[in-house]
């Protein structure tokens, strides 16, 4: 588990109470009571680590580095909590740290890495979804691999806005702010990204259809 928290028996009652609190209240605890900070932050990590790790994986196309990147995101968040003013939700604030960290990682690493997306990552826009069937697991896996391969072919300029919108749920304006581009440019890139994805998906399906015969 990322950012592991020691769980001693005499702390269990306190931790049980902490775990039902909202993110924002836990942040208040962290800012007000340093001694309770580690336990409260451990709860926040448990709540958000799966999403952050998945996002690090698909944003950077570096599955082998995803856990380390997620760990670094939480470490940055921990040391920046004193500056959290509650102008957004903790989740939004955390994901902005994640996005900036992943973008910095991409700036430093220019080579492309294939990423195998799983169902948690492909749960956004319908064009990116892999519709698995319980009786057809191999086909579902093949489709997810094809989704990863297609996304890997898209340029970062359209792949990142597309993923931030359709999989991370950011608004167009939030994406524009994060990437430092105009709102109209974001909308155009997302539209282009969806079109290119669909075209490449259909092209990949075509040989399978032809081989199937009448």
Residues 87-104 have pLDDT tens digits of 888 988 898 899 889 888
Distance in angstroms (rounded) separating the CA atoms of residues 87 and 16? 27
Residue 202 confidence (pLDDT): 87
- Are 7 and 75 members of one domain? yes
Contacts 24+ apart (CB under 8 A), 54-57: 54/118, 54/120, 54/121, 55/95, 55/98, 55/102, 55/167, 55/168, 56/98, 56/101, 56/102, 57/115, 57/117, 57/121
Residue 184 confidence (pLDDT): 94
What's the domain count of the chain? 2
The CATH code of the domain that includes 174 is 1.10.10.10
- Is 33 a residue whose pLDDT tops 60? yes
Residue-range definition of the domain harbouring residue 175: 116-214
- Are 121 and 108 members of one domain? no
- Are 170 and 120 members of one domain? yes
> Domain end: 50, 84, 112, which one?
112
- Are 83 and 103 members of one domain? yes
Q: How confident is the model at residue 48 (pLDDT cuts 50, 70, 90)?
A: very high
> Domain end: 77, 112, 147, which one?
112
- Mean residue pLDDT of the chain comes to 75
Residues 102-154 have pLDDT tens digits of 888 988 875 444 443 443 344 444 445 444 444 455 666 677 677 777 887 88
Q: How confident is the model at residue 183 (pLDDT cuts 50, 70, 90)?
A: very high
Residues 154-175 have pLDDT tens digits of 888 888 898 888 877 788 998 8
Residue 75 confidence (pLDDT): 93
Q: What percent of the chain has pLDDT over 70?
A: 69
- Is 207 a residue whose pLDDT tops 80? no
Residue 146 confidence (pLDDT): 78
Residue 2 confidence (pLDDT): 56
Q: Who wins on pLDDT, 204 or 112? A: 204
- Is 83 a residue whose pLDDT tops 50? yes
Q: Who wins on pLDDT, 207 or 194? A: 194
Residue 109 confidence (pLDDT): 75
> Domain end: 60, 77, 112, which one?
112
């Amino acid at each position: 588990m990322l950012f592991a928290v020691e769980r001693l028996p005499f702390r269990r009652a306190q931790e049980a109470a902490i775990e039902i609190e909202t993110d924002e209240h836990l942040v208040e605890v962290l800012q007000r009571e340093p001694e309770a900070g580690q336990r409260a932050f451990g709860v926040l990590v448990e709540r958000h680590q799966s999403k952050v790790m998945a996002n690090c994986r698909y944003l950077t196309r570096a599955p082998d580095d995803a856990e380390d990147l997620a760990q670094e995101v939480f470490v940055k968040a921990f040391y920046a909590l004193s500056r959290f003013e509650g102008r957004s939700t903790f989740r939004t604030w955390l994901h902005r740290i994640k996005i900036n960290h992943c973008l910095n990682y991409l700036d430093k690493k220019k080579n492309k890495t294939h990423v195998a997306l799983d169902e948690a990552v492909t749960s956004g826009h319908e064009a990116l979804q892999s519709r698995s069937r319980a009786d057809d697991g191999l086909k579902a896996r093949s489709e997810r691999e094809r989704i990863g391969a297609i996304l890997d072919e898209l340029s970062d300029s359209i792949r990142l806005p597309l993923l931030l919108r359709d999989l991370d749920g950011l608004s167009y304006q939030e994406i524009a702010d994060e990437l430092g581009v105009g709102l109209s440019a974001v909308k155009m890139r997302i539209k282009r990204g969806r079109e290119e994805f669909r075209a490449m998906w259909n092209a990949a399906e075509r040989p399978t259809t032809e081989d199937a015969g009448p």
